[in-house]
Amino acid sequence: MKVLLVQGFLEKGYPFPAVPLGLCYLREALKADGHAVTIYDPNVSTAPDVDTELTDLLRAGDYDVVGLSLRNVDNNEMFQPRSYYLWLPRTARRVKQVAPRARIIAGGSGFSIFPEIIMRRVPELDFGVHLDGTESLPELLRNPAQPERIPGVLYRRDGKVVFTGRRPPPDLDRLPAHPWGDLDFAPYSRHFFAAGVLSKTGCVFNCAYCTYPMLSGRHFAARSPVKIVDDIQFLAEQRGVKSLFIVDSIFNYPQEHCVAVCREIVRRGLKVEWTAYFIEKYMNDEVADAALEAGCIGFGFSPDGIHAASMEGMCKASDPEDLRRVVEIIRRRPRAKASFSFFLNPPGQDFRGILRLFKFIVTTRLMNRRQFVSLGLWYPRVYPNTPLHERVVRENGFPAGEDAYLPDDDASLTKLFWINPRNAWLNTLFFGIIRPLQMLRRLVVKTLQKRGHRIGSQPG
């Protein structure tokens, strides 16, 4: 069959497009079954109208199957909300009009948060693939007349959406090596960390707002360090990639896996810069030194709260002592650079916590900008089937049903962010003063991105 895989469109001018790693793995799995597969990523298109470009591609290609990948349902931005979900029904209608004989199949992490809701709302979809599709999609294309036999698939029967059940995650070491194939990296080369490498899936932690455990399981499944670094070496030597992102939910747990990957990079003498998410609780000198030697130029941390009550309110595994230790680990290593993400007014926040938060900002970001390169202040977006959702339904009158958490317009997204009624003055201060400054800084960053900084170069 001829298959077109379409990456979900984020927004025109989105500054951080990522190489579609999931679609690359899907393409390799489908090619192994004899299918001819094309990937289209509108996020790096130079066409003035990506919808018109897709229409032309559909007419020229005469595809049997069109896969639509919804990676993010929105931008998680309370002050400038943007729905990415709305791209899916609009594009499904376009595909049905232009290529009526093609089967339309939806998937992706964003789709997998709301699979049955999206299938009900978008009648043009013939099937949905829940979570990883490297096994489900090839099986579905082999036998589309009997989808009920295939785990991880949504289909229609007698006017209703039927889900065949969650499929066990695949053996990661059986995934194809170097899944990028002949993908053109040129459109991504002007963006920092656009290429991603998978080290492991799953997450054993239970942060209040996070969908990772729901999407990839509550247990880590790791690839072998050799196979991980095989991919890194391929990107560096065969595709000219100078910087990349390790896409794990948390890279430094288990610690021994993280260190083994870093040492394999060093053993091969690879010169590639990378960044990843780290958790404070399992950050130590060995991890920091191994990562720096292997080329890590950015440790990303998300403590979310600043003191015990706020960290507990966000169900964090780390505590304030872990955060203090991380700051000292970074400070003792002049080459280390770190970013931190906090919620301004999380559950458990009090006046003492607010003072500690602003003290942290002054003593890190303001006094040592060279090492503490970014500090974000946010409000949590509520997703169904998370601890935060359970709490706000119980305590704050948020709707219990899942439909409300996937609105059909941008404006309604603002209602899905939890604002702590405690310390209301802090919310007013943030809305009126701090947030506009953050938005101005983001505008500057976008402008710099559009001017064409290349992967691996340092921003001015």
Query: What is the residue extent of each domain of the chain?
Result: 2-163, 192-450
Tokens 């966000």 locate to 314
Which of 83-92, 326-335, 368-377, 430-439 has the weakest average pLDDT?
Answer: 430-439
Please, what is the end-to-end C-alpha distance for the chain in angstroms?
Answer: 48
Taking the C-alpha atoms of residue 169 and residue 112, their distance in angstroms, rounded to an integer, is 14
C-alpha span between 139 and 145 (Å, rounded): 11
The DSSP code sequence of 69-127 is: E---SB---SSS--BSTTHHHHHHHHHHHH-TTSEEEEESHHHHHSHHHHHHH-TT--E
pLDDT digits (tens, 9 = 90+) for 172-229: 999 999 999 999 999 998 888 999 999 999 999 999 999 999 999 999 999 999 999 9
Rounded mean pLDDT, 243-247: 97
pLDDT in tens, 4-61: 999 999 987 777 899 999 999 999 999 999 999 999 999 999 999 999 999 999 999 9
Classify domain 192-450 at the CATH class level: alpha beta
Element (H, E) at 59: helix 50-61
Answer yes or no: is pLDDT of 460 > 70.
no
106-131 pLDDT tens trace: 999 999 999 999 999 999 999 999 99
Q: Is the pLDDT of residue 453 over 50?
A: no
In the chain, % of residues over pLDDT 70: 95
Residue 244: strand, helix, or coil:
strand
**68-72, 241-245, 428-432: least confidently modelled range:** 428-432
Residue 72: partners with Cβ closer than 8 Å, 6 or more residues away: 8, 10, 84, 109, 110
pLDDT tens figures, 149-166: 999 999 999 999 999 999
Percent of the chain clearing pLDDT 90 (strictly above): 85
User: What's the confidence (pLDDT) of residue 305?
Assistant: 97
79 band by pLDDT with thresholds 50, 70 and 90 = confident
Annotate 153-199 with DSSP letters as a single string: EEEEETTEEEE--PPPPP-GGGSPSSTTTT---GGGTTSTT-EEE--
Taking residues 409-417, report their average pLDDT.
Answer: 95
Whether 298 shows a pLDDT value over 50: the answer reads yes
Q: Which CATH number fits domain 2-163: 3.40.50.460, 3.40.50.280, 3.40.640.10, 1.10.10.10?
A: 3.40.50.280
Under the banding of pLDDT at 50, 70 and 90, the label for residue 458 is: very low
pLDDT of residue 436: 73
- What stretches of 332-386 show up as alpha helix (H) in DSSP? 351-361
Distance CA(76)–CA(381), nearest Å, equals 6
pTM of this structure: 0.93
Q: pLDDT at residue 456 above 50? A: no
Beta bridge partners of 129: 153
Query: Residue 336 pLDDT > 60, yes or no?
Result: yes
SS3 annotation, 198-233: CCEECCCCCCCCCCHHHHHCCCCEECCHHHHHHHHH
Which range (204-208, 291-295, 394-398) has the least confidence? 394-398
Contact between 103 and 66 (Cβ < 8 Å):
yes
Residue 383 buriedness (CB in 10 A; 0-12 / 13-18 / 19+): buried
User: How crowded is residue 160: how many other Cβ atoms within 10 Å of its Cβ?
Assistant: 10
What confidence tier does 401 reach under pLDDT thresholds 50, 70, 90?
very high
Residue partners of 296: CB distance under 8 A and separation at least 6: 262, 273, 274, 275, 276
Q: 442 falls in which pLDDT band (50, 70, 90)?
A: low
pLDDT band for position 90 (cuts 50, 70, 90): very high
**Cis omega (within 30 of 0) on the bond before 151?**
no
H/E element holding 257?
helix 255-267
Q: What does the alpha-carbon distance between residue 389 and residue 45 come to, in Å, rounded to a whole number? A: 37
Contacts of residue 176, Cβ cutoff 8 Å, sequence gap at least 6:
25, 28, 29, 32
Q: Which residues of 272-304 are buried (b: 16+ CB within 10 A; e: fewer)?
A: bbbbbbbbbbbbeeebbebbbebbbbbbbbbbb
Strands lying side by side in the sheet with 127-129: 36-40, 2-7, 65-69, 103-107, 127-129, 153-157, 160-163
pLDDT given for residue 367 in this prediction: 87
